[in-house]
Amino acid sequence: MNLFRITAEVWNDFLLNIFPAVCINCNTTLVRNEQYICSKCKIALPRTNDYLDPTNRLFQKFAYEPKVKHVSSFLDYNKHGIARKLIHSLKYRGEMDIGLMLGRIYGEDLRKTGKLRPDIIFPVPLHHRKLKKRGYNQSEMIALGLSESLEVEVDTDILIRKTYTSTQTKKSRVSRWENVGNVFEVVSPELLYNKRVMLVDDVLTTGATMGSLASQIAKCDVHEIYLVAMAAGS
Ligand SMILES: [Zn+2]
């Protein structure tokens, strides 16, 4: 261990003594090796266990796309729950490491099944203007966590977002479906030939974004598509 690292650790401990980090969910002071949430809340995360049921309620949403073989959400996104707090901090408070943490935990769950073996992981891309504004793509952080556990590369060059849709959340459900139609582009479709593609998003709501992307990816003669979200409404 070098001197710089020791100094950094001492400094971090010093800061934590003055401003102790607390659990996002229950506000108890975090101890060493805990990040964002305490061990108690981590164990109590509202897992959907969707991934254990191949024909779950989310999978039904994408039944029209035959290449989609797996759809799952890690957590239940109920209104006042911990999933909402975590995703909110990840998206709007700059806590990008929450994405890594969630991705790693869910990646472990998925790895243990031994059934999902993607060749490539795509985060749902942000438009470059939004990326500049936020500083990072929250779905990419999740994808990187999944990538560590599943030992699969994340790609952010093949799939891009062409259109800037900043007011999407304010639009009605119908116009949202129309809106996502030509938003994304697969830059090098030949690179996806016969590949098992995992597509990662933070929250799955209507399924419009994931559905539109899945259809575009399916056209590239991929082998299979897996849709994975960190949270979905019940
Ligand atoms: Zn807690």
Most confident of 16-20, 37-41, 125-129: 37-41
> Quick one: pLDDT band at residue 14, thresholds 50, 70, 90?
confident
* Residue 190 alpha carbon to ligand 1 centre in Å: 46
Shared domain for 13 and 113, answered yes or no, is no
Centroid of ligand 1 to alpha carbon of 35 (angstroms): 10
Residues 109 and 34 in one domain: no
Confidence at residue 78, expressed as pLDDT on a 0 to 100 scale: 83
Residues 99, 66 share a domain: yes
Same domain membership, residue 154 and residue 74: yes
Q: Please tell me the distance from the alpha carbon of residue 114 to that of residue 108, in angstroms, as a whole number.
A: 10
Tell me how many domains the chain contains.
2
The per-residue pLDDT of the chain, averaged, comes to: 89
Q: How close is the Cα of 212 to the center of ligand 1, in Å?
A: 37
- Phi and psi (nearest 5°) for 49? 60, 25
- The pTM of this model reads 0.86
Whether 16 and 132 map to the same domain: the answer is no
Give Cα separations from 74 to 105, 145, 181 (angstroms): 9, 13, 26
Question: In this predicted structure, what is the pLDDT of residue 11?
Answer: 78
Tell me what pLDDT residue 162 has. Answer: 85
Rounded to the nearest angstrom, the distance between the alpha carbon of 27 and the centre of ligand 1 is: 6
- Whether residue 75 is found in the same domain as residue 40: no
Q: Cα of 41 to ligand 1 centre, how many Å?
A: 4
Ligand 1: centre distance to CA 75 (Å): 16
Question: For residue 98, how far is its CA from the centre of ligand 1 (angstroms)?
Answer: 14
Taking the centre of ligand 1 as the mean of its atom positions, its distance from the CA of residue 118, in whole angstroms, is: 33
Give mean pLDDT, residues 69-96.
Answer: 92
Compute, in angstroms, the gap from residue 43 CA to the centroid of ligand 1.
Answer: 10
**Domain shared by 40 and 50, yes or no:** no
- Integer Cα distance of 117 and 223 in angstroms: 12
**Residue 38 Cα to ligand 1 middle (Å):** 4
- Looking at the fold, whether 32 and 55 belong to one and the same domain comes out as no
Per-residue pLDDT band at 171 (split at 50, 70, 90): low
Q: Same structural domain for residues 175 and 135?
A: yes
Q: For residues 35 and 56, state if they share a domain.
A: no
Are 124 and 21 within one domain? no
Distance of CA 77 to the CA centre of its chain: 13
Same domain, 138 and 188: yes
- Residue 226 Cα to ligand 1 middle (Å): 31
Residue 167: per-residue pLDDT? 52
Residues with CB under 5 A from ligand 1 (ion): 23, 25-26, 38, 41
**25 alpha carbon to ligand 1 midpoint, in Å?**
5
- Phi then psi dihedrals of residue 199, to 5 deg: -110, 130
Residue with tokens 């796309």: 65
Q: How far is the CA of 86 from the centre of ligand 1 (A)?
A: 12
| Section 31-58 average pLDDT | 93
Q: Which domain holds residue 173?
A: 46-232
Give the CATH number, domain containing residue 164: 3.40.50.2020
**Structure tokens of 190?**
């030949």
